[in-house]
Amino acid sequence: MSEPANNEMDFPAEEYRARLQRTQEQMVKHHLPVLLLHQPENINYLSGLDQIGYFSYHALAVPSRGDPVLIVRDMEVPTAHSTSWVKNHVVYADAADPLPVWLDAARRALEGLGLAGGRVGVDEHSWFLTVERWKMLQALLPNATLVGEPRIVDHLRLIKSPREIENLRGAARQVEVGLRAGIEAIAPGVKERELAGAVIGALASAGSKMPSGGIITSGDRTSLIHGGLSDRRLERGDPVYFEQNGVHKNYWARLMRTAIVGPASAGQQRIAETIIRIQDEAIALMRPGTPASVVDRACREPLLASGLRETYTNRAGYSLGLNHRPSAGEFIREFVPGVEWVLEPGMVFHMLMMAAGMGFSETVLVTEQGPERLTTMERKLFSCS
């Protein structure tokens, strides 16, 4: 199979084909003749299609044998030719009543594969398969039975290939540049929004895809874990909390650090050192074969015992890799109480810990030898004069 003439694919075609083969092997095991996928990450993972037009309907029909079919808006065909190895497209044009036009394209794709009857696996967990789309699809496929597929591609994405890991290393380098620029911009009187400007500029210069200001809060606003930017001006003694993203070829690395405007007090230093020590000890346990529950307890129990938090209800970490907005991570595997999965080589996680207005995190790769921090920025409380 020849490559597209204008090749902007993020991976060689053979890597995409290997992913497709693993997907099709799982489809056979689950008696699914075809998948109709809507989640942008999974479409990208199998086809390479790289675009931001998911506000309009896009899907990938994947037969258990043979090549997949992209279902795309006609305006996205040049992008499909440029970024994807998949040559079979079913297209649609904008319409006054778009829903039936969108889903009729999916029907045509399935009929073209000879798979518009019988079991059709759909990604019911996808935010992009809305209830109205599901109902319309069912109405247009009267001879098909739509069944929830067991997140086949999601689970395959958990184990990163060497090329994927290199993308994550690139993203980690970018996020460190951006976060360091934000810290260097800290001074009394500076607005949170101005810190974001420094971060965005540095991320863009470092090559990060669609850079944003991430999460930056200060002072009492550090209790707003997902707070937006504000015009609040920094005051001496304020904690400044950063959670930032580097994005390289759609692979995300994340990083949290906290800085103090001026010298840190003894109390602030003690809080930071406690969080970092507990997290270091938990990350050290992230070896192949380790139950996730062991790592979760190593994060949760000591922090509660320290008295820095009265409750610890949020996840202590989650899987990270190929990602598209609006999602902030894979969330296919999470460190929460009661989990039963085990760590495997090639998994990547964002490990985070927050308490008392401070937060620290790392993007961590599980290797055969143990954990590797892909983010390598100094693990400390920064003091900024």
Among 9, 314, 335, 22, smallest CA distance to 159 is for 22
Rounded to the nearest integer, the mean pLDDT of the chain is 95
Half-sphere exposure of 148 (CA within 13 A, CB side): 5
| pLDDT on residue 302 | 98
**C-alpha dihedral, 14 to 16 to 21 to 25, nearest 10°:** 160
CA distance 277 to 284: 11
The residue that leads in pLDDT, 289 or 223, is 289
Average pLDDT over residues 61-80: 97
Phi-psi region of 262 (alpha: psi -120 to 50; beta: other; left: phi over 0): left
Choose among 74, 49, 50: nearest CA to 62.
49
| Residues 35-62 pLDDT 10s | 999 999 999 999 999 998 899 999 999 9
Q: What is the mean pLDDT of residues 128-134?
A: 96
Amino acid at 61: A
Q: Looking at residue 205, what is its pLDDT?
A: 96
What does the alpha-carbon distance between residue 138 and residue 375 come to, in Å, rounded to a whole number?
Answer: 45
Whether the Cβ atoms of residue 251 and residue 163 lie closer than 8 Å to each other: no
Q: Is the pLDDT of residue 1 over 80?
A: no
Where helices occur in 219-263 by DSSP H, the ranges are none
Per cent of the chain over pLDDT 90 is: 91
Q: Give how far Cα 36 sits from Cα of 27, 106, 146, 189, 377, Å.
A: 12, 8, 10, 53, 41
Output the pLDDT for position 4. 43
Structure tokens at 373: 């921090």
pLDDT for the residue numbered 213: 74
pLDDT for res 8: 87
pLDDT score recorded for residue 35 = 98
**Exposed, middle or buried, 162 (CB in 10 Å: 0-12/13-18/19+)?**
exposed
pLDDT at 2: 42
Q: Does residue 3 carry a pLDDT above 60? A: no
Query: Lowest-confidence range among 125-134, 163-172, 313-322, 328-337?
Result: 328-337
Catalogue the E-assigned strands of 163-302: 215-218, 239-248, 251-261
Q: Which of left, alpha, beta for 107 (phi over 0: left; psi -120 to 50: alpha)?
A: alpha
Task: Give the residue-averaged pLDDT of 241-262.
Answer: 96
Rg, Å, the chain Cα set: 23
What is the per-residue pLDDT across 351-369, written as a single tens digit (0 to 9) for each? 999 999 999 999 999 999 9
Place of tokens 């921090």: 373
Average pLDDT over residues 114-129: 96
Mean pLDDT, range 141-147, rounded to an integer: 97
Q: What is the mean pLDDT of residues 60-71?
A: 98
Cβ atoms of 247 and 168 closer than 8 Å: no
Strands (E), the chain: 34-37, 59-63, 69-73, 89-92, 118-122, 144-148, 215-218, 239-248, 251-261, 317-319, 348-355, 358-367, 370-373, 382-384
For residue 50, what pLDDT is reported? Answer: 95
> Distance between CA 347 and CA 363 in Å, rounded?
11
Q: Give the pLDDT band of residue 258 (cuts 50, 70, 90).
A: very high
